[in-house]
Amino acid sequence: MNLKYKRRYESLKRSVKSYLLENAALTDEICRLQAELSVTRSQRLYLIERLMFHEGLEKSNSGRPSVSNGKADAAETTKKYSPVVSHKNPSEDKPKNVTIVRKKKPMFPMNLNNVLLHSLGEIISVNPNFHTESWIYPVGYVATRIYAHPKDPRKKCVFTCKILNNAGIPQFQIIPDNDLDGVFFGESANMCHMELLNSIQRSPCVKIKIPFDVQGEVFFGLSNQKTQSLLMMDPAFHQCTNFKGFAVQNVQSLNSASLSFETLQGFIS
């Protein structure tokens, strides 16, 4: 009997030793992957910042109006993507050929000053849940922007903003790049933005009450003049019965602590 249990004991010891070695190997592999992931995230943040910088520099050098110019930018975008048609002269007997230049599709990603637009999405005009009197929420809309990390506001973080169709109801998502488990989602853009701001306010490094103002649509980039101009070129835009017109954006609000990483640092430091 003692020999039998001794053999079992030796077998268990070998199994435990094998599991310990396997666990150590897995731990080393996880540490290596986490280090690579951290480097990749830093590189992605750097590349997005450089892309926004260079696109803004190219626009200023070419003499085109900037995104923040409002009407001028909207007119430029409409002019760029509008069809050009030359009509025939009715006084002539023989009709001339009609030359039609098709609308050019916008190139993505598109730099919208402080937001990088990856996909405009599709307007669901038949469902009133996807538009209000002042806003239109296209399904499949994807944009990224840089703001403070929800757990450590002293660090920059790339946020991916999405609008999805959840059984006929819009679902808004704000996904921090450095914390994929901490996704903020809700049935309105303001709800997502408010959850993000509340998370920042609860951070241990925040010692004072920050005067946040919830601006969900602005955070998503839906208030940008170029985004609105692209939406107006969608054939389904005029079929949104409840929509009356886009809300007027306050330019000064773009520098508020709710949207600007630099402004937020003034309340933290």
Which range is most confident: 6-20, 40-54, 77-91, 124-138?
A: 124-138
pLDDT of res. 36 = 79
Neighbouring-strand partners of residue 172: 163, 186
Out of 12-21, 76-85, 165-174, 247-256, pick the least confident. Answer: 76-85
Token pair in block for residue 5: 């249990």
pLDDT tier at 178, thresholds 50, 70, 90 = low
CA 19 to chain centre: 43
The pTM of the full predicted model, rounded to 2 decimals, is 0.64
110-266 maps to which CATH number?
A: 3.30.160.360
pLDDT tier at 121, thresholds 50, 70, 90 = very high
**Quick check: 172 pLDDT over 70?**
yes
**Quick check: 1 pLDDT over 70?**
no
pLDDT tier at 74, thresholds 50, 70, 90 = very low
Contacts 24+ apart (CB under 8 A), 181-186: 182/150, 182/151, 184/150
**Mean pLDDT score, 209-219:** 92
| Between residues 6 and 156, the one the model is more confident about | 156
Residue 109: is the preceding peptide bond cis (ω within 30°)?
yes
Q: Which residues contact 44 (CB under 8 A, 6 or more apart)?
A: 158, 177
